[in-house]
Structure 1
Amino acid sequence: MKPTTRGTLAAVVTGVAVAVGAAATPAAATGTIPIPVPLDGLEKSLNMEVPKLGMEMPLIIPGAPEGPRYTEGRLLPDRTLPQVPINGGLPGVGLRAPLPHVLGEGFDHVGIDAPASGLRTLTPGLALVAPLTRPDPKHYGLPNTQMPAAGVLAPALQTVVGGDLGAGPGL
Structure 2
Amino acid sequence: MKSTTRGTLAAVMTGVAAAVGAAAATPAAAVPIPVPLGGAERALGMELPRAGGELPLPVPGSPEGPRFVTGRLVPDRTLPQLPLSGGLPGGNLDAPLPQVLGDDFEHLGVSAPAADLRTLTPGLSVDTPLTSPNPNNLGLPDAKLPQLAVLTPLLQTVPAANLGLGG
TM-score by length of 1: 0.76
- Return the offset for 1:24: 4.7
Percent identity among equivalent residues?
Answer: 55
Please give the alpha-carbon distance, in whole angstroms, between the structure 1 residues aligned to 2:146 and 2:105: 68
- After TM superposition, the structure 1 = structure 2 runs for residues 81-160 of structure 1, keeping only pairs within 5 Å, are 81-101=79-99, 108-160=106-158
1:73 corresponding residue in structure 2: 71
User: How far apart, CA to CA, are the structure 2 residues paired with 1:129 and 1:30?
Assistant: 36
Structure 2 counterpart of 1:43: 41
Rounded Cα–Cα distance in structure 1 between residues aligned with 2:158 and 2:69: 35
Unpaired segments ≥5 residues, structure 2: 1-17
Please state whether the residue corresponding to 2:26 is helix, strand or coil: helix
- The structural deviation recorded for 1:107 is 6.3
Residue 64 of structure 1 corresponds to: 62
For residue 47 of structure 1, report the CA deviation from its aligned partner: 3.6
Indicate the residue corresponding to 1:166 in structure 2: 164
Cα pair distance change 1:107/1:39, threshold 3 Å:
closer
TM-score, length of structure 2 as denominator length: 0.77
Alignment partners' CA distance in 1, 2:109 and 2:42: 21
Alpha-carbon distance in 2 for matches of 1:127, 1:56: 38
Would the aligned equivalents of 1:107 and 1:168 in 2 still touch at CA under 8 Å? Answer: no
User: Is the Cα contact below 8 Å between 2:27 and 2:57 reproduced in 1?
Assistant: no
Structure 1 unaligned segments of length 5 or more: list them. Answer: 1-19
What CA distance in whole angstroms lies between the structure 1 residues aligned with 2:145 and 2:158? 42
CA contact (8 A) 2:28 2:59 kept: no
TM superposition shift of 1:29: 7.0
2:63 counterpart SS class: coil
Q: Give the C-alpha shift of residue 154 in structure 1.
A: 0.8
Superposed structure 1 runs of 4+ greater than 4 Å apart: 104-107
User: Aligned partner of 1:89: which letter?
Assistant: G
- Size of the aligned set, in residue pairs, is 147
**2:130, 2:160 → 1: CA distance?**
51
Q: Distance in 2 between matches of 1:99 and 1:30?
A: 35
